[in-house]
Structure 1
Amino acid sequence: MGSSKRIAALDFGEARIGVAVSDPLRLFAQGVAVVCASEGWEEELASLLKRYEVELVLVGVPIREDGQPSHQAAKVLSQAEALIALLPEVRFAFVDERYTTKLAHSYLREVGRGMRRAKELSDMVAAEILLQEYLDAQRKEGSDGER
């Protein structure tokens, strides 16, 4: 069996950062936190990722429909660089987060969350969607032809 360390995903929003973490077997994603993107967020997030013993962090980068980075992408990359500097032992990968926020809003509407609460949770749910899609793809790649 592979590593028992976890994988995390981050969804950087305007005011909040959504965090999701895999289980040790890397089967399921779970939203674990919403970090306020204000003074000191880097240390708070680094501490959280260390607590969960994360070895890989997926950073959702907003990509436009035409495949080009959105206006928000540069800000996300800059924020990620600050976090990378605090966690040199952790690997980081940048992934297309297209549609995850829309999916998160749709899901939260379906489960009956109020608009205010949905806004608070949407970044975390988007990170959870991003991570679960990654875990599912990894499992599918690893299971092709294996028994």
Structure 2
Amino acid sequence: MAKYLAFDVGSKTIGIAKSDGFYPSTLKTIRFEENNFYQACELVEAIIKEENPQKIVIGYPKNMDNSIGHRAQMVEDFVSLLIDNKIWTEDKIEWIDERLTTKMARSILVEANVSRKKQKKAKDNLAAILILETFLVKISK
């Protein structure tokens, strides 16, 4: 069975979800010094080695007009570090448009009456699940 990991990359955290090919679930959120993607890569490398996925799915936060902004460039830089440091290969990366996943995650958490403090912790993982869900729907067609 194929195994996938999804990453919702931020400037201080990465939400990570996993799936055996059917259902996505939360794995963890890693925290690192702001914009220290070398540190983030080290943390992600350990998870990739432990989980041994077939592919990793990266949330790609384009601007609403489809242009590449600061956040999308930040994600591209992070993925380049993964590839350049031979942590992962480009051919095993899937990019998923995630323009609205963080907003959707917040909305779901508000609807579920999750406190603001808990929302902050849960939104990265939920966004990663939504990214992975989008990928799973895409490959099932």
TM-score between both structures, scaled by the size of structure 2? 0.87
Q: Return the alpha-carbon distance in structure 2 between the equivalents of residues 13 and 109 of structure 1.
A: 21
Cα distance, 1:137 vs structure 2: 2.2
Q: Return the alpha-carbon distance in structure 2 between the equivalents of residues 31 and 83 of structure 1.
A: 21
Counterpart residue identity of residue 49, structure 2? K
**The 10-residue stretch of structure 1 (73-82 or 98-107) with the greater mean CA deviation from structure 2:** 73-82
RMSD between superposed Cα atoms in Å: 1.7
**The 10-residue stretch of structure 1 (82-91 or 6-15) with the greater mean CA deviation from structure 2:** 82-91
Cα distance, 1:71 vs structure 2: 1.9
Q: Is the 8 A contact 2:96 2:135 kept in 1?
A: no
Q: Is the 8 A contact 2:15 2:127 kept in 1?
A: yes
TM-score between both structures, scaled by the size of structure 1? 0.83
Percent identity for Structure 1 against Structure 2 = 25
Cα distance, 1:115 vs structure 2: 0.9
Moved over 4 A (4+): none
- Count how many residue pairs are aligned between Structure 1 and Structure 2: 135
Q: Return the alpha-carbon distance in structure 2 between the equivalents of residues 42 and 88 of structure 1.
A: 10
- The residue aligned with 1:144 is none
Which residues of structure 2 form unaligned runs of 5+?
none
- The residue aligned with 1:57 is 56
- Superposed, 1:39-118 pairs within 5 Å as 40-84=39-83, 85-88=85-88, 91-118=92-119
Which residues of structure 1 form unaligned runs of 5+?
142-147
Q: Is the 8 A contact 2:15 2:125 kept in 1?
A: yes
Q: Return the alpha-carbon distance in structure 2 between the equivalents of residues 83 and 115 of structure 1.
A: 32
- How far does the alpha carbon of each residue in 1:69-114 deviate from its partner, in whole angstroms, 9 at most, with x for none? 2221111111111123342457112221110000110111122221
Larger relative helix fraction: 2
- The residue aligned with 2:30 is 35
